[in-house]
């Protein structure tokens, strides 16, 4: 487990002193609560947990809009079906000085077809996630914070499955770890769990679905070809 935020700031200063190149960031992420933000976003009926973080120490190309799209495709997600968006965007404050922002992008499980697969997801239910980037002036880690959840099919009006946050996180992580390729890019992903930043339970959580309080940190490295 990380001793945030001191260990994170320590890493940051250590690398500033040694003058490491800035191609790769020096911190995994900053705890949003330290900057007045929250590890929960704002949804219709409470907050959804930001239960997966893609480390700021990942390869920089993974952390861009195009990069996260290709990575999402490598692990079985793609942009929403035909660009249609069901439901209103959610907002989150990552405590980086940018305040509360709409999600950057939303990905749905694609069932093996980048362009049409997400349509099946909308009908059949499945896993999806929303993304926010921590790059504001006061906590510029570059990390991506993901709100991952698993839904039932459309007949259930996109309600989450029981335990949909924990299951969604675990399924995404299981699909991501190890070596995955897409669009000519090969990724190596390592997972690590973090406790102590997110309270467990259902207090204030969207739909009253309890979370186990575990955040999984993914560090994604692009392999040299």
Ligand X SMILES: *[C@@H]1O[C@H](CO)[C@@H](O)[C@H](O)[C@H]1NC(C)=O
From candidates 83, 137, 157, 184, binder to ligand X by CB under 6 A:
137
Position 90 contacts ligand X (CB under 6 A): no
From candidates 89, 153, 158, 175, binder to ligand X by CB under 6 A:
89
CA distance 33 to 198: 10
Please give the residues from 19 up to 38 whose contact with ligand X meets the rule CB under 6 A: 38
Rounded least distance, CB 143 to ligand X, Å: 13
- Strands 215-222 and 52-54, sheet pairing: parallel
Position 136 contacts ligand X (CB under 6 A): yes
Rounded least distance, CB 100 to ligand X, Å: 7
Q: CB under 8 Å to 143, separation ≥6 — which residues?
A: 25, 27, 28, 29, 30, 53, 54, 55, 56, 63, 133, 134
Rounded least distance, CB 104 to ligand X, Å: 7
CA distance 52 to 119: 24
Q: How far is CA 123 from CA 117, 135, 174, in A?
A: 10, 34, 23
Q: Which residue has the tokens 């090969």?
A: 186
Q: Which CB, 191 or 210, lies closer to ligand X?
A: 191
Neighbours of 74 (CB within 10 A): 21
Q: Which CB, 35 or 117, lies closer to ligand X?
A: 35
Rounded least distance, CB 187 to ligand X, Å: 17
Rounded least distance, CB 41 to ligand X, Å: 7
Position 40 contacts ligand X (CB under 6 A): yes
Position 219 contacts ligand X (CB under 6 A): no
């Amino acid at each position: 487990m990380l001793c945030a935020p001191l260990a994170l700031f320590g890493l940051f200063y250590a690398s500033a002193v040694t003058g490491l190149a800035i191609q790769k960031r020096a911190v995994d992420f900053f705890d949003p609560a330290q900057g007045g933000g929250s590890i929960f976003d704002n949804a219709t009926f409470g907050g959804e947990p930001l239960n997966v973080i893609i480390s700021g120490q990942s390869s920089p190309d993974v952390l861009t809009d195009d990069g996260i799209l290709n990575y999402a495709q490598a692990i079985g997600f793609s942009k929403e079906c035909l660009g249609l968006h069901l439901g209103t965007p959610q907002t989150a404050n990552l405590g980086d000085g940018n305040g509360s922002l709409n999600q950057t992008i939303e990905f749905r499980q694609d069932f093996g077809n980048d362009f049409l697969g997400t349509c099946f997801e909308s009908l059949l239910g499945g896993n999806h996630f929303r993304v926010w980037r921590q790059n504001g002036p006061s906590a510029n880690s570059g990390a991506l914070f993901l709100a991952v959840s698993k839904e039932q099919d459309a007949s259930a009006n996109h309600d989450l499955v029981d335990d949909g946050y924990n299951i969604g996180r675990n399924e995404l992580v299981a699909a991501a770890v190890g070596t995955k390729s897409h669009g000519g890019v090969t990724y190596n992903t390592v997972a690590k769990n973090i406790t102590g930043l997110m309270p467990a339970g259902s207090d204030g959580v969207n739909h009253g679905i309890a979370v186990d309080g575990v955040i999984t940190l993914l560090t994604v490295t692009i392999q040299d070809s």
